[in-house]
Amino acid sequence: MALVNSTVPQALRRKRLRERARTLAFLSPWLVGFGFFFLYPLISTVYFSFMHYDGFTAPTFAGLQNWTYVFTDYPSFWTGMGNTLWLVVVMVSLRVVFGLGIGMLITKVKSGAGFFRTAFYLPYLAPPVAATMAFAFLLNPGTGPVNHLLGELGLPQPGWFTDPSWSKPALTMLAVWGIGDLMVIFMAALLDVPTEQYEAAELDGAGSFQRFRYVTLPNISPIVMFAVVTGVIQTMQYYTQAIVAGKVASGVIGGSGQQFEPGYPHGSTWTLPQMVYNLGFQRFDTGSACVVAVVLFALSMAFTSILLRRKSGFMNED
């Protein structure tokens, strides 16, 4: 009996170990990738945020100096923070609204749906640098066709990428133009909504807004949440379009004695990821760059956590 008692748990333990080993083996590619490309950089970033490190000489412990510098002595930080949050709130909201709206329109189109799907999806495939340069030329206040047309119509001609009050809206227009990714996933979600629910709602006398509010939205709420969360994370990392638009619009190549203005015009397109590059690779201040990177990570986590915690009040849990 004692033999049986000790043998059975051992066999069970071995079986469990084998199962765990198998599980780990299947997970290992992801674990390795997660460890090397996420966990290690994350730990390094936090570590270097407390170090004085210029990228060339050995790092030395700096305590909270980098954190104090970024938050109190580096005025561009708060400008970049404000711009990034502006883009997160406005750009993400408009992308979701337009993506959903265009998705709904195209699912209802009787003929030519393929053409419209392609037409709205194609801009998403344009490389960000090329698309931004094209927008900068189209919206050039002096020579661009958009302002020429506005002038012909007797409408105001904004400075777009050269005017600090118009540069972020112009970047938002660019982002909304490339709405194809969200349009496709919203279309898939919309086509998945059971038609019986619409029929039942119609029988109950629901109007189009009520059908959208009480049938469509609850069914697609997980996709809306996905779009918002990924949109927030992507926009927190907004870099390429902002820096290309600034460089093209300013016309300045940059060099000794003639630096490119960060966030041209007047810092209005200056975002947190640009700050990471500027501090780390142009000012050789890896420690402060890591502080900004940690802040970015914490903000992304905070946004995501808040959104996911609030999902119960918004999403259809069934």
Q: Which two tokens stand for residue 304?
A: 């995501």
Do 223 and 181 contact (CB within 8 A), yes or no? no
CB 217 within 8 A of CB 224: yes
Contact pick of 107, 197, 250, 304 for another protein (by CB under 8 A):
250
Query: The dihedral of CA 70, 74, 79, 83: what is its sign?
Result: negative
Using CB under 8 A as the binding rule, whether residue 58 contacts another protein is answered as yes
Site string for another protein, 106-135 (x = CB under 8 A): ------------------------------
Task: Work out whether 288 is an interface residue with another protein (CB under 8 A).
Answer: yes
| 66 touches another protein (CB under 8 A) | yes
Backbone angles phi, psi at 285, to 5 degrees: -115, 75
DSSP 116-141: HHHHHHHHHHS-HHHHHHHHHHHT-T
At residue 239, what are phi and psi to the nearest 5 degrees?
A: -140, -60
218 binds another protein (CB under 8 A): no
Residue pair 146/139 in contact by the 8 Å Cβ criterion: yes
Residues in a beta bridge with 61 = 51
Instruction: Give the nearer residue to another protein in terms of CB position, either 34 or 115.
Output: 34
Q: Which is nearer to another protein, 5 or 258 (CB)?
A: 258
271 scored as a contact of another protein (CB under 8 A): no
SS3 call for 161? helix
Residue 255 is a binding residue for another protein (CB under 8 A): yes
Q: Interface with another protein includes 56 (CB under 8 A)?
A: yes
Q: Which of 99, 178, 262, 273 binds another protein (CB under 8 A)?
A: 262
Which residue from 14, 18, 266, 310 is in contact with another protein, where contact means CB under 8 A?
266
Q: Which of 65, 197, 230, 304 binds another protein (CB under 8 A)?
A: 65
Instruction: Please state, in angstroms and rounded to a whole number, the distance separating the CA atoms of residues 210 and 27.
Output: 45
Residues in contact with another protein by the rule CB under 8 A: 35, 39-40, 43-44, 47, 53-59, 65-66, 69, 73-75, 140-143, 159, 162, 249-253, 255-259, 261-262, 264-267, 281-285, 288
